[in-house]
Amino acid sequence: MPGFEVFGEEERKQVNDVLESGVLMRYGFDGMRNGHWKAKEFETAFAKRMQSEYCQLVSSGTSALTVALASAGIGAGDEVIIPTFTFVASFESIMQLGAVPVLVDIDDTLTLDPKAVEAAITTKTRCVMPVHMCGSMADLRALKAICDKHNLILLEDACQAIGGTFEGKPLGSYGDLGCFSFDYVKTITCGEGGGIITNKEQFAINADQYQDHGHDHIGRDRGAETHPTLGYNFRISELNAAVGIAQLGKLEHILGIQKKNYLHLRTALSKVEGVTFRSVPKGGEENYSFLNIFLPSQELAEKAHKALGESGIDGCFYWFNNNWHYIRGWEHLRNLNSLGTLPSEIKNQIQDLNTTDFASSDHWMGRTISILIKIGWSDKELEVRKEKLTATLREVLSKIGTR
Ligand SMILES: *Cc1c(COP(=O)(O)O)cnc(C)c1O
């Protein structure tokens, strides 16, 4: 996920526009800002790129999730279904609102298993939050059918799959709300930042107000604005938004190179016996930010990951033993270690994550290795990577049965 790989003149020029006026805030100071409204400009361009009516920029992908949930009216005691393989932001954003995360199994798409989602629905469920991990998506058609049937909000976390599509629609635009991160390691970056897209006007109005203390943003005097509801401060600064405008201009270029590099490695790995690929739901196209493979067993995946590291290939991730992205590493969540007292709704309703059976998730995650696709590789570097990857995996897999 390489936005930082292409940081250059365009980003500096955008940031300089802001530095020249010194107006670092996205609201007000109309006379001083030399006509620059970077956050607004990014929102308009991003909504268009994502074929959505509305975009709200905020300070991070995590705050995008919080604001999206809040804008849909989700609050204390409401249950939100999320996958076991995700980023910690999923449960953080939910718990921030006093809502209750409900973790369910993933399948061979490495995202929410629709059957597990349906089985987890209770009278308190309000929202299903698929997380399109590592460049590819959940079966959005199946999840949408479940949400329609049970009158639930479908909120897509597309932070790791910007530019991917499902049934021709940009990921993030298929559900009721879609969230993106522009943190430093994402496909396009603002340094720090996040975005929410939606076609629902009321959600857009709610998000606009909630991310800025409930301000109604009517008129030109912030001090005179009313506050229809309570809010918070999740605003983005003009400096960060300015970087994002330049990065958005590079998105198609980034996606094109990712796809080329991904396909080159995939073609080679498909000839290695024992390597299989993550399944992509029918109608979906990945954004090609990661090549995700399965090995025949957990033991072989562990060995392969170790061997890949030893042969000097960077950017190969074994999430099963990684504290960022899988339930096994989240002791703080499983034991509800919080600084202050948690809302009683969370304490009373949350599943016992130390004893819940996630064998199906373990089955897939134990065998998964994700290979990061960069765009700065020269043809030579790509070729060397391909050779080392295939040779290392062949070597590990050739030992099957000879142990
Ligand atoms: C990066 C990420 C987020 C959070 O984004 P931040 O901008 O770092 O807060 C949320 N979900 C997923 C899947 C992510 O990868």
DSSP states along 43-58 = HHHHHHHTT-SEEEEE
Q: Stretch 315-322: mean pLDDT, rounded?
A: 94
Alpha-helical segments (H) within 194-334 = 201-210, 238-248, 251-269, 298-310, 331-334
pLDDT band at residue 29, thresholds of 50, 70 and 90?
Answer: very high
For residue 365, pLDDT over 80 is answered with yes
Ligand 1: distance of its center to the CA of 250 in Å?
20
Ligand 1: distance of its center to the CA of 224 in Å?
35
* CB-based pocket (< 6 A), ligand 1: 60-62, 86-87, 89, 131, 157, 159-160, 181, 183, 194
Ligand 1: distance of its center to the CA of 300 in Å?
29
The catalytic position among 48, 124, 149, 186 is: 186
> Candidates 69, 136, 160: which one to mutate for ligand 1, based on the most atoms within 8 Å of Cβ?
160
Q: Stretch 307-318: mean pLDDT, rounded?
A: 94
Ligand 1: distance of its center to the CA of 16 in Å?
27
Cα(244)–Cα(182) distance, rounded to whole angstroms?
A: 8
- Quick check: is 186 catalytic? yes
Q: What is the mean pLDDT of the chain?
A: 96
> Candidates 87, 171, 186, 189: which one to mutate for ligand 1, based on the most atoms within 8 Å of Cβ?
87
For residue 399, pLDDT over 80 is answered with no
The pLDDT tens digits for 239-254 are 999 999 999 999 999 9
Q: Stretch 279-288: mean pLDDT, rounded?
A: 98
> What are the two backbone dihedrals, phi and then psi, of residue 277, each rounded to the nearest 5 degrees?
-115, 150
Helices and strands in the chain: count of H runs, count of E runs: 14, 14
The pLDDT tens digits for 177-197 are 999 999 999 999 999 999 999
The pLDDT tens digits for 42-90 are 999 999 999 999 999 999 999 999 999 999 999 999 999 999 999 999 9
Percent of the chain exceeding pLDDT 90 equals 95
N-to-C CA span, the chain: 37
Q: Stretch 294-310: mean pLDDT, rounded?
A: 97
> Candidates 4, 129, 181: which one to mutate for ligand 1, based on the most atoms within 8 Å of Cβ?
181
Q: What Å distances lie between residue 150 and 94, 121, 126, 154, CA to CA? A: 20, 8, 9, 11
Domains of the chain in sequence order: 3-250 (3.40.640.10), 252-399 (3.90.1150.10)
The pLDDT tens digits for 4-24 are 889 999 999 999 999 999 999
Q: What Å distances lie between residue 161 and 74, 149, 171, 288, 316, CA to CA? A: 24, 26, 7, 8, 18
Instruction: Say if residues 335 and 309 touch (Cβ distance below 8 Å).
Output: no
Query: What is the residue with the minimal CA distance to atom 2 of ligand 1?
Result: 159
pLDDT for res 403 = 47
Ligand 1: distance of its center to the CA of 375 in Å?
21
With a threshold of 0.95, does the pTM exceed it? Answer: yes
Using the atom order of ligand 1, give the atom closest to the CA of residue 132: 13
